[in-house]
Structure formats: structure tokens, C-alpha cells
Structure 1
Amino acid sequence: MRPVHVAAAQLGPIQKAEPREAVVARMLALLDAAADKGCDLVVYPELALTTFFPRWYMEDQAEVDTWFEAEMPNAATQPLFDAAKAKGVAISFGYAELTPDGHHFNTSILTDKTGTIIGKYRKVHLPGHDEFDPERAFQHLEKRYFEPGDLGFPVWQTLGGVFGMCICNDRRWPETYRVMGLQGVEMVLLGYNTPSVNSQKSAEGPEDRLFHHRLVLQSGAYQNATFVVAVAKAGVEDGHPLIGGSVIVDPNGKIVAESLTEDDELVTAVCDLDETVFGKETIFDFARHRRIEHYGRITSQTGVEVAS
């Protein structure tokens, strides 16, 4: 057995005026609760330190940059890293990253149990649009404020297993899981901030959003024989509702734990990474069953090309 006791540390809404220090205090409370339960790893949401600022249209780059972190850890987040080290718990969380050379990414990091950052992922599949859209019920300007990730989908060996990360919209794309699956991933960590209503299709509300959310997580887990830990920032932020639905999914695609609220909430499970072995050695034994000679279109084209 290779048990990893993991906690999905869901956060309730973060209002636009809420300072990072107040958010970190909430994250620390969840970390304390997870440590008391004996957890090895605590996973927080996408953009865990601030409100989901891409819903706001901004033209002043200096204003935009106030939502980004120029270093990690920094003064506001250092207490979180210190507490993780003191308690011997690994952590993963998302934030807006401003690099020293001026690039902007939607980023997640992973630490080991000493509070040392061992992994970084930058969101590849950016949803939304890059200019103000009056036809939308609300804006979703990730393409305006972030660049597509430039690190690919790496994995890291830690906590006795193989771990990967992705962020929010990445979970909807099967390539995300498969690239990590081809590296033997055993647990995928992801945070999300998902609006409760589709801004371009008002009939698609929370029930449909949660259905699609679970669908892609469960299929990604099953098709790659991996655990998936998905963590929400949820509730009503500045008048804009976000879904909850934080879940831990096993390698058979079954949900083993799920949040019950849209507030700060801890969802935990003991995940035996050895449970990934059966799927990887049987129906999803890639070495025996994949037929890459037929998959060329996946990497040779982006948009649809209808055969004549």
C-alpha cells in the first residue's frame, strides 16, 4: 500500500476588497484542520489568494498587475509555507504569477512536506475572451490577462507517488490527463473557479455545470487510472456565483469524497496509490494498446477540418 491522505481545501467566496492576508488566514485554518486529521497533502483552488479578477474589464496594466504575485512565497503567503513546514504537510495552490521578465500566467505550485516548492504548472487551456464582450452576461477575460502556459504538463515524484497538476478549464480537455497519464501520473491536483451560469448560455446553470464538471473529472481519472483531486473556490463573489463540487475521484472514476457547501470546507480521503496499478496494467496499458499511428490529427491541427 502507498496511502496518501489528501485534503481538498475548498474556499468560499473571496470578495474584491478582501486582502491576501485575510485569505491566507482562512487557508491556515484549513491547513490546521487537515493536519489534525493526519493529512499528508492539502490542495487549494485556482487563484486562491484573490477574487476571480478576470470577470472585471481593466485597461490599466498597473491595475491588472495588483492581482499578480511577483514572487512566491511572498510576505502575505510566507505564513502558509511556514505552517506547512512546521506541520509536515505538503500543499498545492493557485495564484496569478508575474514573472521577473514581465510574463503573466495562471499558475499552480506544489511543495513537499518541508514547504519547499518542487513543482510549478501554468494553465494551458485559457477560456474566455480578450476584449469586452457586451453580448455576455458577465466577462471572462482570462485571455486578456494571462498567457497560455509554457511548461506543458509535467509530473513530479513525491509523497511516494507520481503527481501532476492542471487548472480549471484544463480539466475539460482529455489531452490534459493523457499527457500526464503517459508519464505514469497517479494523482492529478487541480483547482478551479467556475461560474454557476454559462455567460453565453443562460439556460446552462449550476446543475449542468456540476454535471459536466464531474463528467470530465471522472472520465479523466478512469481513462488514465489516476486519482483526481479537484478543489473549488465557490459561492457568491462580488455578486457572481461560483459552483462548489470539490471532489476526490479514484482511478475507477468513482467519487470517494465531495463537498457539501459553497463555503470554506475540508474534504478528505486516504488514497492508496497502488489502486492505480490495475488499470495501468490492464485496459489502460498504453504500451500494449495505444495506436499512435492513427492519432496524428491530435497534434497536427487545432480547429475542425471537415473531410470533403
Structure 2
Amino acid sequence: MRIVTLAAAQLGPIQRAESRQHVVARMLELMDQAKAKGATMILYPELALTTFFPRWYMEDQAEVDAWFEREMPNAATLPLFERAKEYGMAMSFGYAELTPEGRHFNTCILVDRTGKIVGKYRKTHLPGHSEFDTSRAFQHLEKRYFEPGDTGFPVWRTEGGLFGMCICNDRRWPETYRVMGLQGVEMVLLGYNTPSVNSQKADEGPEKRLFHNRLSVQAGAYQNSTWVAAVAKAGNEDGFPLIGGSLIVDPNGEIVAEATTEDDELLVHACDLDATKFGKATIFDFARHRRIEHYGRITAQTGVELPPE
């Protein structure tokens, strides 16, 4: 067995006025709990250091850039790296990245047990819109503040296994998991900030949103015979609610742990990476069963092309 004892560290709401230092203190508390429960890896949500700022329409670029991190680690986040290294605990979390070239990405990183960043992923599938939309119940301006990621979906050899990452909306796209699956991924780490109500469909509330969350993660895990851990930032941020529902799913697509609150909450599960082997050698043995001669349309077009009438 190759056991990764994973701590899925859900964060409750982060208000707009809350400082990074205060948030990091909360993250450190969850890390302390994870250490006490024997965790060897901890996963935090998308945009873990701040409120979900894409809900706010901003025109001043300096105001926008204040939500971004220019380096990692930095003064605010260094305590996370130091504590993780002290504990010998691998770590992953998401944040808004401002590169030296002035590019803006929704990013997450993978840090090994020595405190070294060994992987970086930038969100590919950006949801929402880029201009203020009066028809929406609230704004979702990721396309305004971020550019689509340029990393693709890499997989890293670390901590005795093969790990991949994705962020929020990426989890809804089967291509996300399959590209990593074709690299043998054994655990996918992902964080999300998902509004409790669809801004364009008021009757799609928390129950349906949680259903779609489970569906996407379980399907991705099963169809690629991989562990998937999905961790939320949840609760009411300045009047805007986010779903919780953080969960850990095994390579059979079964939920082995799931959050029950919308607060800071820790899930810990011993994940055997060898549990991925059976599915990868049988029903999802890609080398034997995939028929790529019929898949060209997947990468040849974006929008729907209807057959002739």
C-alpha cells in the first residue's frame, strides 16, 4: 500500500475586510488539527487567502491587483510553508497570482514535505463574464480579472505518487480529468468557490449545486480510476453564500468523506494510491480500450456544430 493521509481543509467564509494574516491563522489552525490526526498532506480551497473577489465589479486596476500575490511564499503566507515543513506535511492551496510580467491567473500550487513548491497549475476553464451584467443576480467576473491558464493539466511525481491539480469550474469538464488520467494520475487535488445559487437561474439553489459538485467529482474519479479531493470555501461572504460539500472520492467514484458544515472543517482520510491500479488495468486500461481515431472532434472544435438537416 502507498498511503497518503489527506486532510481536506474546508474554509468557512472570508469577508472582504478580512486580512490575509487572519486567514492564514485559520489555515494554520486547520493544519495543526491535521497534524494531530496524522495527515501527511493538506489541501485548501481555491482563492484560499481572500474573499471570492470576482463577485465585485472593479475598474481601478490597482484595486484589483491588491487581491493578487506577486510572489509565493510571501510575508503573509510564509508561516504556512514553515509550519508545513516543520510537520513534514505536503500542502496545496489556491490564490490569485500576479506574475512579474503583469499577467493575472487563478492559480494553485503543490508543496512537498520539505516546503518546496514542486507544482503550479493555472485555472483553464474560467466561468462567468467580463463586464458588469445587470441581468445577473450577482456578478461573477473571473473573465475580467483572470486570463485562461497556460499550464495545461500536468501531473507531478511527488510524495510517492502521481498528483494533478485543477480549480473549481475545471471539475465540470471531463477533459480535465482525462488529460491527467492519460498521465497516470493517482490523486487530483482541487479547490472551489461555488455560489449557492446560480446567478442566471434562481431556482438552481444549494441542493442542485451540491448534486452537480458530487456528480462531477465522482465521475472524474471513476472514469480515470483516481482519487479526487475537492475542497470548498463555503458560507456567507458579505451576503453572498457559497456551497460547502467538500469531499474525498475514491477511485471507484465513491465518497469516503464529506463536509457537513459551511465553516472551517477538516476531513481526514487515508488514501491508498495503489487502489487506483485495478481500474487502470481493467475497464479503464486506456492503451487497450481507447479509440482515438474517433475523438478528433474533441480538440478540433469548441462550439457545437449541428449535423446537416
TM-score interval for Structure 1 and Structure 2 normalised by the shorter chain: over 0.9
Q: Indicate the residue corresponding to 1:67 in structure 2.
A: 67
Q: How many residues align?
A: 308
- In the alignment, structure 1 segments of 5+ residues that lack a partner are none
Q: Does 1:249 align with 2:233?
A: no
**Counterparts of 1:116 and 1:158 in 2: how far apart (Å)?**
11
**Counterparts of 1:268 and 1:262 in 2: how far apart (Å)?**
17
Q: Per-residue deviation at 1:38?
A: 1.0
**Counterparts of 2:229 and 2:219 in 1: how far apart (Å)?**
13
Q: Indicate the residue corresponding to 2:108 in structure 1.
A: 108
**Counterparts of 1:35 and 1:164 in 2: how far apart (Å)?**
23
Q: Indicate the residue corresponding to 1:198 in structure 2.
A: 198
Give SS of 2:95's match: strand
Q: Indicate the residue corresponding to 1:141 in structure 2.
A: 141
Q: Does 1:275 align with 2:282?
A: no
**Counterparts of 2:123 and 2:238 in 1: how far apart (Å)?**
24
Q: Which amino acid aligns with 1:58?
A: M
Q: Indicate the residue corresponding to 1:81 in structure 2.
A: 81
Q: Per-residue deviation at 1:159?
A: 1.2
Q: Indicate the residue corresponding to 1:297 in structure 2.
A: 297
Partner deviation per Cα, 1:34-54 (whole Å, 9 max, x = no partner): 011111100000000000000
Q: Per-residue deviation at 1:162?
A: 0.3
Q: Per-residue deviation at 1:235?
A: 0.2
Q: Indicate the residue corresponding to 2:227 in structure 1.
A: 227
Query: Normalising to structure 2: TM-score of the pair?
Result: 0.99
Give SS of 1:283's match: coil
Give SS of 1:51's match: coil
**Counterparts of 2:33 and 2:280 in 1: how far apart (Å)?**
34
**Counterparts of 1:32 and 1:89 in 2: how far apart (Å)?**
11
Partner deviation per Cα, 1:113-169 (whole Å, 9 max, x = no partner): 011100000000000000000000000000000000000000101111100000000
Q: Does 1:41 align with 2:41?
A: yes
Q: Per-residue deviation at 1:97?
A: 0.0
Q: Indicate the residue corresponding to 1:124 in structure 2.
A: 124
Q: Per-residue deviation at 1:289?
A: 0.2
Q: Indicate the residue corresponding to 1:239 in structure 2.
A: 239
Q: Indicate the residue corresponding to 1:9 in structure 2.
A: 9
**Counterparts of 1:250 and 1:148 in 2: how far apart (Å)?**
29
Q: Indicate the residue corresponding to 2:216 in structure 1.
A: 216
Q: Indicate the residue corresponding to 1:284 in structure 2.
A: 284
Q: Which amino acid aligns with 2:283?
A: I
Structure 1 segments of 4+ aligned residues over 6 angstroms from their partners = none
Identical aligned residues as a percent: 78
Give SS of 1:105's match: strand
Q: Indicate the residue corresponding to 1:264 in structure 2.
A: 264
**Counterparts of 1:123 and 1:33 in 2: how far apart (Å)?**
29
**Counterparts of 2:262 and 2:306 in 1: how far apart (Å)?**
42
